[in-house]
Amino acid sequence: MNERIPRELLFGNPEKASPKISPNGRLWAYLAPDEGVLNIWVGPEGGLAKPLTKDRGRGIRVFLWAEDERALLYLQDANGDENWHLYQTDLESGVTRDLTPYPGVQAQIVSTEPRFPDEILVALNDRDPKLHDIWRLNLKTGERVLEATNPGDAIGWLADRNFRIGLHKAMTPTGGTVLRIKDGEGWRDFLSCGPDDQLGAHGFSPEGKSVYIESSVDRDTTALFEAPLAGGPAKLLAEHPESDLGAVLIHPRDYTVEAVSFEVDRVHWQVLEPGLKTDFAAMAALNGEVSIVSRNDADTVWYILVNKPDRSPAFLRWDRETRIAAPLFVTRPKLEAYALAPMTPVKFTARDGLTVRGCLTVPSVPAAGKPPLVLLVHGGPWVRDHWGFHPEAQWLASLGFAALQLNYRGSAGFGKRHLHAGDREWGAKMQDDLTDGVKWAIEQ
């Protein structure tokens, strides 16, 4: 019989989360509860840490190192109003100040840059609640200078190699997307697509003459391209026939694209930088979904997350010289006392011939006969379920239930044919996929 897992171990705050190494590699920080509330803890790299912030409300979820390493920056709202403010906590004094002390205004972090350690680019909607303008904020003085005014439709911004706003993304009146680049004092259209395609930008190339973009124009899945600012054909860098582009790993100082991920059943990394091939080959032996969550500026140390279904997510320190992984912490160590259930990628053919993929979690200790099945349906619908640690599936498995998660038509990540097969099919063919999946599971 499966041992019931207490819900607080699965759904409560993690004991530790989100480790980040400082730019020079001497310190580290992470989130952990202090008096029951998530706060930022800081200490010597890999060593004992103590709480730096003293939040006693909703807790801190998003933080980053200031490039000068004298402070940590974090976003926090007031009781869930989503008017995020940017706060700065000094490492030496512990004093916290609000860098965006404007009532009813939402702050968004746009970019930091190692060569400009005293500055940060933030988006603020103080001029118009519907629009965010970009401001250059001085972390020493708190003064701000307007960097870019929203033309009225911008929803995303990208800094160039000189730490100036060089590109923004906007939606068109018909639901499409346009990328515009800075042209003197104004903007000019660079690339665009219709409402059925996807288009986005990930960064400028090292020399600043091209942009790394993801696009599904004239293809089914989104792929990574390098598009010259002067015009002309874009160069294909990475693609997958069954998966949209996932994570894009860019070097923190020289801005080259090093690796990209794709995900069909499991995450697959395509390594573009030859010097990283040995690292990724060695990390594959960790037998989980590996992602790089933090790295020092010298790029000698990575903090990586290893995610697998039957264990609490674990963070490790990856030494790039020795290529040895040393444990930092697991997010929920008390789960180590329980036998978590395995998760298996599955696929089946729906009644109209469409391939549907998903994941099946079964109790780690089989009961007599077949276990009852719970269908876990993701929301969105333009998102997807993933192989890995899933608290709800593990909770059900500990109660003796199998859990089936399906990426029905309309789910994201599998190309635009799969995505748009769900158009106007809510409660129709999308529901058929779920029903067909349950029938398939019963037959199996």
Please write the tens of the pLDDT for every residue from 130-184.
Answer: 999 999 999 999 999 999 999 999 999 999 989 999 999 999 999 999 999 998 8
Average pLDDT over residues 98-109: 96
Average pLDDT over residues 408-419: 98
Read off the pTM.
Answer: 0.92
pLDDT beyond 60 at 1: no
pLDDT of residue 133: 98
Give CA–CA dist 289/283, Å, rounded.
Answer: 9
Q: What is the pLDDT of residues 75-85, one digit of tens each?
A: 999 888 999 99
Percent of the chain with pLDDT over 90: 92
* Mean pLDDT estimate for the chain: 95
Q: Which domains can be identified in the chain, with CATH numbers?
A: 7-335 (2.130.10.120), 338-443 (3.40.50.1820)
Percent of the chain with pLDDT over 70: 100
The single-letter DSSP state of residue 285 is G
Exposure of 400 by Cβ count < 10 A (0-12 exposed, 13-18 middle, 19+ buried)? middle
- H helix runs in 373-428, sequence order: 391-398, 416-420
370 versus 279: the higher-pLDDT residue is 279
Give CA–CA dist 156/328, Å, rounded.
Answer: 34
Range of weakest confidence among 1-5, 396-400, 428-432 = 1-5
pLDDT beyond 70 at 270: yes
Average pLDDT over residues 388-393: 98
pLDDT of residue 365: 76
pLDDT of residue 119: 96
Average pLDDT over residues 95-102: 96
The side-by-side arrangement of strands in the sheet containing 131-138 is 107-111, 119-128, 131-138, 144-148
